[in-house]
Structure 1
């Protein structure tokens, strides 16, 4: 099984190839240029380095959200276009699931947090059960005070990941005390390898879609849509 996975939901642009259960290549960039400028050159370099072509893939996976409206559209559209050209299926992976899966051996509650502005975050809480990712809450777009209340009530150690973790570190550390910890830098941000690993599980479970059916999961309306009413 060969899967090309993409994640452009945050400031990180990342792509990975999974081949027969092994990540054979992963490229990531968290600095400079927009996703529209860097994603396709990144994919081309990745495939060349892996000795593969898009037509060799069995499926194309993308992180579908929540996240940046523009970023999600770029990643999802790219995965759909490549799948259409190769006549292969696509696999939708929720961004928060993929972030949590960066730490598949953790015993703590995993809490990916993505900046949604104005002290709001996109988030969910997770536990690892064996090799399975168990989501403890809905996908949420909430104020950091409300999230802190939810995590405090769980009475367990919590590991934070995502682009909003460092941004709100002092707040969550103040609310959770010794139960608070941050994921190390190599696991704290979006990784296409995690998208690919979850996509492989979905592939094996038959969760495949036509390229026409993959859609971004925004969780809430854009600011322009909210202001329009």
Structure 2
């Protein structure tokens, strides 16, 4: 990380690839952050940068207290060198600059090992250099906000015979269990939501548990992000295995 002065502003030039310690011949794209221009204050109009690169579909948004100012969905894995350009695109669409942001929120897991490290590193650097608070969200909380049925089971494939689960009865917190245990509990559920590999989705279908419809993320992000507690403390990846 190289901090230097440019036009009387403190600037931080960071390579996301280097931040997570991945050794490559090319350092990847750099992103420029302006630090200390607008210290966070609760009286400021909320401009929250949200991003989730943990799942099969990445999402980016700039969110106000009552509405989504801009939203971007990207299919597939978002690499560390592509992350800054997607963030800049969603900021540009919202008519917001880095220094206008009041807080940052990112999904910290579950997800791919490298994707989670890249996400939290980027969020932590933004928080530090812009002097704004941040929050880490579990993917199950993001998806739960999009579900009307409180009895539905959140389930996420992690290995061939293991899944992460969460519900309002047996597993109130995200828990890693065997697929068989999850299927036994799911038999009494009204539906499921989450990310499953085809074999796991087929197993749910075979026991007669349907996929629960999700509300559009644009409809639920404002209330979800407004309800969070933001702090100037680094967020950590959630791998669900005590790593």
Normalising by the smaller structure, the TM-score range is 0.7 to 0.9
How many residues matched?
198
After superposition, give the CA deviation of every residue in 1:155-180 in whole Å (9 maximum; x if it has no partner): 3412x2222165422211222x2xx2
Q: Is the 8 A contact 2:48 2:101 kept in 1?
A: yes
Closer, same or farther in 2 for the Cα pair 1:121/1:193, shift >3 Å?
A: farther
Aligned counterpart, 2:72: 27
CA distance in 1, matches of 2:90, 2:137: 20
What's the secondary structure of 1:64's corresponding residue? strand
Residue 238 of structure 2 corresponds to 217
Shift in Å, 1:218: 1.4
Q: Which has the higher contact order (CA 8 A, sep 6+)?
A: 1
Specify every segment of 5 or more residues in structure 2 that has no aligned partner in the other structure, as ranges. 1-45
In structure 1, distance between residues paired with 2:205 and 2:94: 42
In structure 2, the residue corresponding to 1:216 is in which secondary structure?
coil
Alignment-derived partner of residue 37 in structure 1:
81
CA deviation vs aligned residue, 1:27-49 (integer Å, no higher than 9, x gap): 11123x64313321111011001
Equivalent positions of 1:40-51 (< 5 A) are 40-51=84-95
Give distance in 2, aligned partners of 1:217 and 1:35. Answer: 19
TM (norm. structure 1) is: 0.76
Matched, 1:70 2:96: no
Q: Specify whether residues 115 and 68 from structure 1 end up closer, same or farther in structure 2 by C-alpha distance, changes over 3 A only.
A: same
**Residue 161 in structure 1 maps to residue 193 in structure 2:** yes
Query: 2:222 and 2:125 mapped to 1: Cα distance?
Result: 18
Secondary structure class of the residue paired with 1:73 = helix
Structure with more helix by fraction? 1
TM-score, normalised with respect to structure 2: 0.72
How far residue 71 of structure 1 moved from its aligned partner, in angstroms, is: 1.1
Structure 1, unmatched stretches of 5+, are 128-134, 223-229
Q: Check conservation: 1:6, 1:195, Cα contact below 8 A.
A: no
Contact kept, 8 Å, 2:68 with 2:218, in 1: the verdict is no
Q: How does 1:192-207 map to 2 (within 5 A)?
A: 197-202=223-228, 207=229
SS in 2 for 1:116: strand
Question: Counterpart of 2:109 in 1: which secondary structure?
Answer: coil
- Whether the 8 Å CA contact 1:113–1:121 is kept in 2: the answer is yes
User: Which residue of 2 is the match for residue 120 of structure 1?
Assistant: 162
2:51 is aligned with 1:6:
yes
